[in-house]
Structure 1
Amino acid sequence: MEKDNTSSFEGFILVGFSDRPHLELILFVVVLTFYLLTLLGNMTIILLSAMDSRLHTPMYFFLANLSFLDMCFTTGTIPQMLYNLWGPDKTISYVGCAIQLYFVLALGGVECVLLAVMAYDRYAAVCKPLHYTVIMHPRLCGQLASVAWLSGFGNSLIMAPQTLMLPRCGHRRVDHFLCEMPALIGMACVDTMTLEALAFALAIFIILAPLILILISYGYIARAVLSIKSAAGRKKAFNTCSSHLIVVSLFYGTIIYMYLQPANTYSQDQGKFLTLFYTIVTPSVNPLIYTLRNKDVKEAMKKVLGRGMQKHNKG
């Protein structure tokens, strides 16, 4: 029995989709494609935000933060997933699993708070347009971004060690394709009610509180938009917020389902596909949503591409 207990420190077996081997190759191609799109799209947003002076605004500062976050999130999970999908080896070292769990929890938390910060920025832009530059000054933007990053990593610093220290009685098979908290809690051979209560309490602060702030912000925004007399003005205000609203809906829809339900009601198959959705789909479509619905980003892209073409033609 003692040997079984120490074996958990040698690593875990990520079962993933190994019960559906015909799916693995298809998933490998899909995941790799989305990963490359995520890197390309988010790198483009970061570079455009840095290179075009018109994008040196609070909105694009937070968007660049979100893009950097999405790149970190996918890079922390997808290479291991691709390795496990490609061949028969489904193992992950104990240290690798601990790092993955820590960053998945931390970056997920950062995104929750960052989306609330972005909602406040949109509230200031639509409801207080004359005072926007005074309210959203660079120092405040830096402080709000810092709060988002610190709160996400602080939450993970509490939850990741607690989850990893649970006795598993030698169980090494994680019925998932990454080291995620609900799957690891589900493997424990002791009562996990206290840990689940702690997770729920922290989720209220990290997931629900930012969501309430987002909803309040959009309540004020909706009221301000409806009071605009001209149709063109209403359309402009709506376009300012619609991209962020779509991203919030995609992200929060999956996160709430995953983390705000008891582990014993957690369906592994549903969990895997939902995790796949917010791990690979959401980070890759975020840049697309912002780019397609945003005139400034399109203009910045044309400007940068035009400059590149001119240099190429001269050469």
Structure 2
Amino acid sequence: MKTLFQNKWGVTVFAIICTLLWGSAFPVIKISNSELQIAQGDTAAQLVFAGMRFLLAGLILLFFLFLTNRSLLKVKRSKLFLLFLLGIVQTTGVYYFFYVSLSNVTGMEGAILSSSEIFLAMILAHFYYKNDNMNWKKTVGIIAGFAGIVLANWGQNVQFDFQLTGEGFMILSGLTSAIAVILTKELATDIPPLTLTAWQLTIGAIILLLIGFPQIGENAIVFTPFGLGLLIYSAVLSSVAFALWAALLKYNKASEVSIYKFLAPVFGTILSAWFIPGEGFNLMFIMAIGFVAFGIIIINYTKKQTSPP
């Protein structure tokens, strides 16, 4: 399993699966908000829905571990504080800032600013790990990735205003996500990725629910069979994607894995165009994937060592 997550092709396949699953969450959340009658700008209802989604994701993984290997449910006492901190940062922090900012930024601003986590993760990795320094390849890769995000969202309204609960919170969402990359990588060395993911999702989700429930209005979320199906799907995609991502971070450099996250909003825009009426598909999407792919390749490309004659 270790070799599979270290092999270049294995990393590419698993990272694309993760970003495709996260990308599919974009249209799923949009459709869920409509199906569950969650009003635009109703942050409390969105936080509660996110809390239910991640709590279900965490419980799915905990139940899986309970059935397959109960010993993996245990975590060393010395790691409990960091695990609790990861839950707050990775799940509570990232999605609290993200959902609060959603109603205060345009779609294009949100896509660009939320992708700042990739740049921030690389900067943090540069200072935290001696073997993961910034260089010209990573700089070019980041520029190409941001260009891809811009192209994928081309034509949307963009404003250059700044407000703390809008652009500010979206940047904070990216920063907390970048911090979570380092925390995940550190904890994954001692805690199996499935265990790490199960507990951090569960802890973070409970806190989201504690924040959202006291503020939620009556009938703010109206469940239907289809809405329940969307909730279950979004929970499953989260459990799979976060578990795979934790495994990738465990065995690879943070920067080489993080660059793949540029694909998530691109996939999200493409899937939204396919599944949501009124959101069109155009040539810009193909160009966007091309730019992101170039960024991924340039960062992960290494020349083959030639043995001396």
Indicate the TM-score class for this superposition, using the shorter chain for normalisation. Answer: under 0.3
Q: Which has the higher contact order (CA 8 A, sep 6+)?
A: 2
Q: What is the TM-score of this pair, normalised by structure 2? A: 0.28
